[in-house]
Structure 1
């Protein structure tokens, strides 16, 4: 028989604080008492409180804001339904500007996308190879900081062949209802197939600063590619998402692959 050691005090404190947050004693957007106040209230040292709070930070329940202290996150985990989010009816739902806009509104939150880079550039080697571009061909880069009710939740960087982007009007900040894919569809270049490669990794310095991540938090990196009916790749996109903030949901039938079809 294996005898487990008693749970450490800081983990017990983390359990209690997590329960207090879940039950609404510290509601979303509220500030936790100071470490000194919590230590006095719970009868433990400030070191114990600090270690407990680090657990909650790693889980994404709280974040530390300069001038405010430790704040309970106001945005719940976001479910990303990769099999459904790019359907036109969803992307354009109630005038949504694309998949992200629609899924955030469905949560009752306010989406916002800030364009931080929108210009023709020489593509990275992996992008040029995937898009089948020549040495001097350029792409439009659309780099966006994306928020749910003012909380940063997604960093998306899209690469689209420049000539196609110009024709589709994707050089504008606002691409209109349905976003990029609706504008491509109007040219007969709408995607009908997508691939996504997902991995968890350590964030870059820029990602860590943008999301306000703790030292031991990671991000999902999703390399998303969009293909037309003629197997033309029209978008190569890299999404970075905090792992604690997103639930990646996938769904498919058991007999998804038919004889002679693409796997």
Structure 2
């Protein structure tokens, strides 16, 4: 990888110039996802700067979520492939008929290998906001399904689904493996044909637990999406609270101009 030189007569701080050049190398593909950055010693020697200057440059890239430091190994480019979410397509019935849940359909379009771990299934009362979306009273029970999604081994999303207990009981929704097509396929098999979805999208900084579970670099934001699914009778049959690593997603929506 060819590195440039510093403009010592300009106003831009040397560490920012170094960060600019490393960032440009990533954008060009000279430094690809998983590649190791030049060592501190190499960067100090090339740019003729102090160690602190190099560390400031690398810290800027870490804050942006572009690189991640691994203890004892060095600093590596962290650019997970985006999973393009097509709001008009990802919940299409044809995916469920083919045995694919929404995340599998998204991952296939992006050309990444999808996997799910940290699956937990339980029963209890939903948080107030979820009860409101599901139009449930305070005493109502829900089945709670929590999981983490990975794209080619990289954690990029956590999700918690809340399904009214009377809809989930007697189906594979209460099992660890909900079966081909996921919980939406099971709901439709039980007679609750899906009609529409609503989503509320926000952005924020992650909690400490979210940073750990999604392996986020300092300063990396997350997207939160609260989705509610309705059947053809107008009943809210599921609410799903997801937290997504922002660099891994492109949210694309297609809707008519009428």
Q: TM-score, normalised by structure 2?
A: 0.88
Q: In the alignment, which of 214, 218, 239 is matched to residue 217 of structure 2?
A: 214
| Superposition map of 1:125-144 within 5 A | 125-144=128-147
**Cα offset for 1:235?**
0.7
1:5-39 deviation digits (Å, cap 9, x = unpaired): 73332222122112222334333212223223222
User: 8, 18, 26: which one pairs with 1:21?
Assistant: 26
Q: Say if 2:152 is the partner of 1:149.
A: yes
Kept in 2, the 8 Å contact 1:191–1:228? The answer is: yes
Q: Secondary structure at the match of 1:167?
A: coil
Aligned partner of 1:87 in structure 2 is 92
SS at match of 2:150: strand
SS in structure 2 of the partner of residue 244 of structure 1: helix
Which consecutive unaligned segments of at least 5 residues does structure 2 have?
1-9
2:125 equivalent in structure 1: 122
Q: CA RMSD in A?
A: 2.0
Distance 2:82 2:55 in 1: 24
CA distance in structure 2 between the partners assigned to 1:201 and 1:64 by the alignment:
23
Deviation at 1:105, TM superposition (A): 2.5
Matched, 1:46 2:24: no
Partner of 1:83, secondary structure, is: coil
Task: State whether residues 150 and 157 of structure 2, in contact with CA within 8 Å, keep that contact through their aligned partners in structure 1.
Answer: yes
For residues 112 and 52 of structure 2, the distance between their equivalents in structure 1, rounded to whole angstroms, comes to: 36
Equivalent residue in structure 1 for 2:17, among 12, 15, 33 = 12
1:160 paired residue among 163, 166, 178: 163
SS of 1:106's partner is helix
Is the Cα–Cα contact under 8 Å of residues 92 and 102 in structure 1 kept in the other structure?
no
Cα offset, 1:91, TM superposition: 4.6
1:237 aligns with 240
C-alpha deviation, 1:168, in angstroms: 3.0
Aligned mates of 2:95, 2:178 — CA distance in 1: 16
CA distance in 2, matches of 1:70, 1:242: 20
Q: Distance in 2 between matches of 1:144 and 1:114?
A: 6
CA contact (8 A) 1:60 1:245 kept: no
Q: What is the deviation of 1:157?
A: 0.8
Structure 1: runs of 5+ lacking an equivalent: 256-263
The 1-side partners of 2:206 and 2:18 are apart by 28
Label 1:66 to 1:159 Cα distance change in 2 as closer, same or farther (>3 A).
Answer: farther
